Structures are given as C-alpha cells and as structure tokens.
Amino acid sequence: MPPVTPPAAAPMFNAPPLVVGLVVLLLLIQGVESWMGEDFQIWTLYAFSFIPKRLLENALATPYGAQVWSFVTYAFFHGGWFHVLSNCMWLLVFGTPVVRYLGNLKALVLMAVSAVAGAAAMLIPYWGDFIILVGASAAVSGAMAAAMPIMYAPGFSRVASGGEMPRALSVGELLRNRNALIFAAVFFALQLLTGASEATMGTALISEGVVAWEAHLGGFAAGLVMFYVLAARKASQA
C-alpha cells in the first residue's frame, strides 16, 4: 500500500510567521509592561504613545524625537490584556489573508501606514490636547479593510482547502459586491456607535478611557487605499 500523504494544513488556519511574530511581540510587550510595574508603564506611555500635544510642546517629547516615532510606536502598546488580546485575535483573522496576498514587506508597510493614518485622524478632534493613544487597532483596521477585496473574491472559499489565493476584487468589483459593502457598513456603524456611547472593554485613549474610533476609521481608509496601491505594484512586478 503506498504511503498516505497527509493533506496540507489549511492556509487560513495556519497563520503566516509574520502574523504569528507580531502577535507574540504584542503579547510580550504587554507582559513586560505588566511585570515591570507602574513606573515602567508610565515611562513607556510618555516615550511611545501618541499624544497630540507633543506636536506643540517639545517638552512632551520624552525622549526627544517621540513626537515623530510615536505615530507608529503607539500601536505596540495597549491599555490592558483585553485590549491586546482582542487586537491579536483580529490580527490573526484579517492579517493572515493580507500577508498571504501581498507578502511580508508590503503587508508591514500597509499596517504601518494604517497606524500612522489612525494617529493622524486623532489630530482632527484632539489637536493640541493631552490625550494618550495606544493600541494596534488602527493597524488591524487597515488589515481588515485590505482583507475585503481578498475575502470576497470568487474562489476565496477554496483557500481553506489548500487552493491558491484568488485574484482580489478590483475597486469597481468591490463597490458592486453586496457582502463587502455590508461588511464595511457594519464596521463603520460599530465605530460610530462606539463613539456615541463611549462603550468599551479595552481602552485606547488612556486618559479618557474610551475607544479611539476615529483612529479605527483612519486606519481602515488607509488600509483599503494602500492595498490597491501595493497590489498594483505587485501586479506590475509579476
């Protein structure tokens, strides 16, 4: 009897090393913060969180330069274990198809730009205010938006059975796809509802104790735009 070759692990349930590595990194950072105690947590907030007032007062750049790098570094820190665990869960779900489609480098660029866009979106309502923004939610929202043209493409359901990643939906196809539009509408509705009710189980605005829904929307929009920019570059290089 010939040897039986076990079926390949389902790609969508076998997260890429990059996604696993990011999840481990986020959990490790939260663990170190919790272990080091309150003084260390306060220092990391001032060093790495996004604070709009930094752009007006250099004294808040601790250490010097934090007003620049905090547009990205805030995404690596969280307001508690529920906050980081929820972001890690959604990163596994939506980061996986994005990494598999775009590759490691382009997926990292997409999430980084989404994080920057999320922080920038916070400047609109909070310009010059002393608020402390942390969390990977904007980057995860960007991955969520970027996953839509992939998840709703014809043939995507076969990926879980070992099939190849399908061609992503074009912008026009995405705008005509009912399921994708419903997904986006639900996402936007949840963000607006969260903002109106200030309900949260994992705070992103440490000083206010509420969800930074503006950052989520900024990250989502940036992620969708960056997907098509990076996917176009991928197609031209093929």
Fold of the 11-237 domain? Rhomboid-like fold (1.20.1540)
The per-residue pLDDT for range 74-115, each reduced to its tens digit, is: 999 998 888 899 999 999 999 999 999 999 999 999 999 999
Tell me how many degrees the CA angle 11-14-17 measures, rounded to the nearest 5: 110
Per residue of the chain (238 residues), what is the pLDDT tens digit?
A: 444 333 344 444 578 999 999 999 999 999 999 898 888 888 888 888 898 888 887 766 667 778 888 899 999 999 888 889 999 999 999 999 999 999 999 999 999 999 999 999 998 888 888 888 999 999 999 999 999 999 998 866 666 555 567 788 999 999 999 999 999 999 988 887 765 444 333 344 444 456 678 899 999 999 999 999 999 866 555 5
Q: What is the pLDDT of residue 149?
A: 95
Instruction: Compute the distance between CA of residue 145 and CA of residue 90 in angstroms, rounded to an integer.
Output: 12
User: Six-digit token pair at 178?
Assistant: 């009912």
Q: Which residues, other chains included, contact 186 with Cβ-Cβ below 8 Å and sequence gap of 6+? A: none
pTM of the model: 0.83
136: exposed, middle or buried (Cβ count in 10 Å: 0-12, 13-18, 19+): buried
Q: What is the pLDDT of residue 212?
A: 77
